[in-house]
Amino acid sequence: MVDIPREPRGKKRRWVYLGAGIVTIVVITVALSRLGPAAPSVDKSTIWTDVVKRGEMVRRVRGPGTLVSEQIRWIAALTAGRVERILVEPGAEVDSATVLLLLSNPDVEIQALEAQRQLTAERARLVDLRTMLENQRLAQEALVATVRAQYLEAERTIRNNEELAEKGLISQIELQNSRDRAVELQTRLDIEQRRLGVITDAEESQLAAQQAQVDRLRSIAEFKENLVASMSVVSGVSGVLAELPLEEGQWVRPGDNLARVVQPGRLKAEVRIPETQARDVAVGQVSLIDTRNDTIAGRVVRIDPAVASGSVTVDVRLEGPLPKEARPDLSIDGTIEIERLSDVLYVGRPVYGQANSLVGLFKVVENGNAAVRVTVRLGRSSVNTIEIVEGLVEGDEVILSDMSAWENHDRVRLR
């Protein structure tokens, strides 16, 4: 009988344990390789959220703007001149006769004097012409009177000669001569009367032409005098001097704006609405104007048809009493109510949420300890809210703040 050598039991157990350990390591390695990266953590204090609601949603648009006077008077220079003296500073109350500043221009004064001289000379010519034409007319009237007297005398001579011819005291030749004389004088009388009519008509025409020349020079002289008077620049209306951007000694040209006068009691708001939101604004919509210290109710009265610097200017008429701080050029914020949507899902407007778009939002889950990304279709928007078309239900809580730092993650932990 031969004895078979056997390995010790302790050594066999070591091999079993070693194999089991290797298998465990392999399983753990495979399991860990299949797990995704750990969800990042987000501090709750750095985000803000809102809950999806159902009900009436008021659509509004907002834009910055200024208060402006409904009645603004720009005072422009009628002539070139140098600013000699500024009498009123911006902010002062003025009336229609208040002199704001004084200009000077010797050339304008010389032109006014020359225009006045020409007017005086033409007036003298008018007087001389009227005198000359009147003398001509009077001389012609005297001539007509003389010829008429001679004609009447010739008529009497004919009647006398006819009586004498019947008695045979004068010859028929003498009678015929008297008749021919009367015909001649009648013809002359008709000619001189027509000449008197021509002279009278010509007198009226020549005087009218000379009077027109005088009137023309009078208008020129008045215009030149007005230019001289305009160098004393007056307000023209009552109100507050809002702007006078000049300095003494400065040269201004015709048409330059010298000052701006406004009526502070009649103000309106000019609100600049982004062009992408202005399409829904209409005349008559209710508006609220925020002056930083108070709010003023208003209503849209005009929409500018043109776009300037990416915005559309909307005029809002202010209703009710104005607050004490209301004054021209005051910066304000205007909110215009577009429409009211009933029975819709809506939530606070997210940072990157645009109207009628598809976005990814993080919905809060696990009792506020985590958030997962969901795809949400947005609808119509307002200033602070936006309509939810699909992707969320009433009561869902979503993160509205900027989550672009975790755009590559579908889940985050909230701590």
In a domain, 35, yes or no: no
Tell me the residue range of the domain where 190 lies.
Answer: 107-230
CATH number assigned to the domain comprising residue 282: 2.40.30.170
Q: How many residues make up the chain in this entry?
A: 415
Residues 117, 148 share a domain: yes
Residues 178, 49 share a domain: no
Residues 101, 53 share a domain: no
Residues 199, 237 share a domain: no
Residues 209, 82 share a domain: no
At 137 the pLDDT is 86
Residues 51, 156 share a domain: no
Q: Residue 155 has which token pair?
A: 């008529």
Backbone angles phi, psi at 66, to 5 degrees: -140, 155
In the chain, the N- to C-terminal Cα span, in Å, equals 77
Q: Is 223 helix (H, G, I), strand (E, B) or coil?
A: helix
At 26 the pLDDT is 62
Q: Is the Cβ–Cβ distance between 65 and 288 less than 8 Å?
A: no
In a domain, 39, yes or no: no
In a domain, 379, yes or no: yes
At 250 the pLDDT is 92
At 82 the pLDDT is 94
Residue-level pLDDT, tens digit, the chain, 415 residues: 445 555 555 555 665 666 666 766 666 655 545 544 567 888 888 888 999 999 999 988 999 999 888 888 889 999 999 999 999 998 888 988 899 999 999 999 999 999 999 999 999 999 998 899 888 888 888 988 988 998 888 888 888 888 887 877 778 888 788 888 888 888 988 998 898 888 888 888 888 999 999 999 999 999 999 999 999 999 888 888 888 989 999 999 998 999 988 877 678 899 999 888 888 899 999 999 998 888 889 999 999 989 888 899 999 999 878 888 788 788 999 999 988 889 999 999 898 878 888 988 899 998 888 889 999 999 988 888 899 999 999 999 999 988 888 888 888 888 8
Residues 406, 281 share a domain: yes
Q: Is the Cβ–Cβ distance between 373 and 404 less than 8 Å?
A: no
In a domain, 10, yes or no: no
In a domain, 248, yes or no: yes
Domain boundary among 214, 245, 262: 262
At 224 the pLDDT is 92
Which residues have a Cβ under 8 Å from the Cβ of 81 and sit 6 or more positions away? 103, 104, 105, 108, 231, 251, 252
Residues 257, 312 share a domain: no
CATH number assigned to the domain comprising residue 82: 2.40.50.100
At 35 the pLDDT is 44
What pairing do the DSSP bridges indicate for beta strands 41-42 and 411-414? parallel
Domain boundary among 178, 211, 230: 230
Residues 223, 101 share a domain: no
Q: Is the Cβ–Cβ distance between 400 and 349 less than 8 Å?
A: yes
Closest CA relative to residue 51, chosen from 340, 411, 345, 355:
345
Where b means 16+ CB within 10 Å and e means fewer, 64-74 reads: ebbbbbeeebe
At 29 the pLDDT is 59
Helix orientation angle between 172-230 and 106-166, rounded to the nearest 10 degrees: 170
Q: Is the Cβ–Cβ distance between 238 and 263 less than 8 Å?
A: yes
d(CA 287, CA 57): 16
Q: Residue 186 has which token pair?
A: 């009648």
At 99 the pLDDT is 93
Residues 407, 283 share a domain: yes
At 347 the pLDDT is 92
Cα torsion for 214, 218, 224, 226, to the nearest 10°?
Answer: -170
Residues 196, 344 share a domain: no
Count of domains in the chain? 3
At 266 the pLDDT is 78
At 214 the pLDDT is 93
In a domain, 14, yes or no: no
287, amino acid identity: S
Residues 251, 303 share a domain: no
Q: What is the DSSP string of 146-215?
A: HHHHHHHHHHHHHHHHHHHHHTTSS-HHHHHHHHHHHHHHHHHHHHHHHHHHHHHHHHHHHHHHHHHHHH
In a domain, 8, yes or no: no
